[in-house]
Amino acid sequence: MPFADPQTFAAIAFDYLVIGGGTAGLVIASRLSALPAITVGVVEAGPASYHDPLVTVPGRFGEALGGALDWSFETVPQPALHGRRLQWPRGRLLGGTSALNFMTWTRGNKQDYDAWEELGNAGWGWDSMLPFFKKTESLHQSSVTHQQTHQSYVTETDHGKDGPVATVHSKEYSVPHQHWHATLNSLGLATNTRHFGGSNIGAFTTLTSVDPASRSRVSSATAYCLPNIARENLHVLVNATVDKIELERHGNDWQAIGVTFSSGVQRFTAKADCEVVVCAGSVQSPQVLELSGIGNADILHKAGVSVKVHNRNVGENLQEHMMTAMIFELDPTLSGPDELRADPHLAKAAQQAYDTSRTGIYAMLPCALSYAPLAQVVSRDNLEQILSKLPPAAKSRDEVLRKQFDQKTRGQIEYLFDVGNWSPYYKSSAGKVYGTMLMMLQLPLSRGSIHIPTDTGREPTIYDKPVINPRYFEGHGGEADFEIMSECQKFADKICKTAPLSSVIRKRVYPPESTALSGGEEFRPWVRESCITDWHPIGTCAMGGHEGIESGVVDDRLRVYGVKGLRVADASVMPLHICSHPQATVYAIGEKAASMILEDREAGLGETRK
């Protein structure tokens, strides 16, 4: 592949430099370099791993976590979680987390995006975002027989037809998935046949970012980078880490003029004549800004970093989907990924099925999802009691978020079930088959932060892992999150006790069924000791909207406050979370960012400095 070498890369006169070859970064690089007059460079810290089966084979999802392709971040100890540190996987390879995630392709509710626009971020509501959702996607619709058998319904007009990312339903599904819709339907959650149309409430069989022919993962690397890597004006540098953004003073203004990066033991500087676009993700975008002198002056002073632009919001507003994993022992005739990892013979047979016909466990993904409004799983009295303890909203985004509790059209809780033990805290026993019921809070009130360390005894570098503090269940908002999750856990257990799903379940093993109390089961202690991350962090470089730099890091065109020629474009710019897995939304952010950059260039707002 014609990837750049660091010496040559540093000598190129770029128009645009993209920091991070991840989900959004490669979208932007692809769209900008489609114009031959624009020279684009991408700096990616990880390797290009197109052929690694841990990446490409759908049914091996999760195996790469914690390995060489994962940044392997972790949180600081969380007081409200009994001092536990939580693992925070992030993709460290070309394609970023789109090359490491579970390939789930969903879209949030109309109200999720309209809330962004309500905050003053023009052009970020549902109607404005929909064209970019479609632009990134190429839907491969299932046959009528598949739709009727697996409830794999979509409405063609909701989707794109010729975008770079192929989306498709799996050929086949696990036995629990086959019972999912009937079970949820009996509990009052109907099958949603149009969950990409602005409301994803109910049960559905989700699409996946998988190539329909090869049945291999589609990432931003395979969808946006590989088809365009031979362009003479696109230069992609892998295994190189950006140390900081180079800023230059022009009168009273700071201007981004390039980046300093490391490759091996050598350091280089690359120049950008138009813009630098930070696409390092919710963890590392604020880290890069702070190392460059953009952030809270108090933190930068303590870290020994020279302050260029003071902004207290860099690294703040961290929001994350919180998750519990309830484990059940299943019918022993079933099998899943755990059994393949434990038995080489089963793994060999599964690999042969995948290689020859693209079928079997290695071709399957967990696709049985359901989103429920709080009003459907928490009693009104309990919910009102929980919310009554919240203090007045401090910022407009908090006020907008709290409106969610009165909306029965938003699926604030996600439920997902499939074969396998997905809990880091329950140890499987040999010879037994397990299933996991995931319950995920979609619109958390907890607010955390990500910052560079201030206790290294020297000026920190990009190699010093950032301080990730989600503050799970802390403060008034966190206490409300805890109460809501504890209540919603009861419905998760109820799902698994309901036919026909219950027909394949032998018993609950985590938490053990012996914890039941006479007056109904109490899940509060277990939620506190078992809650984990859902790996969907957002908000650390959020759009400020009406409140500008008082509440955000970038404006609604993703331009960093106080610096010319610098934007951020990834999940970190989302001011509020969404009721959805974020992959499709991050792709759309990349598409919208590229469109805005080209619009500003044409309007003369992005003139070169040559």
546 is catalytic: no
Measured between alpha carbons, how far is residue 158 from residues 64, 333, 595 in Å?
33, 39, 20
Helix (H, G, I), strand (E, B) or coil at 526: helix
Helix (DSSP H) and strand (DSSP E) numbers for the chain: 18, 25
Q: Are strands 73-74 and 87-88 parallel, antiparallel or unpaired?
A: antiparallel
Closest residue by Cα to residue 495 from 423, 422, 424, 416? 416
Residue 150 is labelled as binding a ligand:
no
What are the start-end ranges of the E strands in 280-389? 294-295, 309-310, 322-330, 368-372
Q: What angle do CA 458, 460, 466 make, to 5 degrees?
A: 135
Residue 535 is labelled as binding a ligand:
yes
Residue 515 is labelled as binding a ligand:
no
Tokens linked to 530? 């078992």
Q: How far apart are alpha carbons 451 and 301 in whole angstroms?
A: 13
372 in Cβ contact with 409 (< 8 Å): no
581 is catalytic: yes
Tokens linked to 127? 């109607």
Q: Is 193 exposed, middle or buried, given 0-12, 13-18 or 19+ CB atoms closer than 10 A? A: middle
291 in Cβ contact with 244 (< 8 Å): yes
Q: Are strands 234-237 and 40-43 parallel, antiparallel or unpaired?
A: parallel
Distance separating the N- and C-terminal Cα atoms of the chain: 30
Of the candidates 345, 536, 546, 577, the residue annotated as catalytic is 536
Q: How far apart are alpha carbons 85 and 333 in whole angstroms?
A: 36
Q: Is 230 exposed, middle or buried, given 0-12, 13-18 or 19+ CB atoms closer than 10 A? A: exposed
Residue 489 is labelled as binding a ligand:
no
Max Cα distance, the chain (Å): 76
Closest residue by Cα to residue 246 from 262, 234, 261? 261
Which residues sit in the known binding site for FAD? 97, 242, 535-536, 582-583
Catalytic residues: 536, 581
Which residues sit in the known binding site? 97, 242, 535-536, 582-583
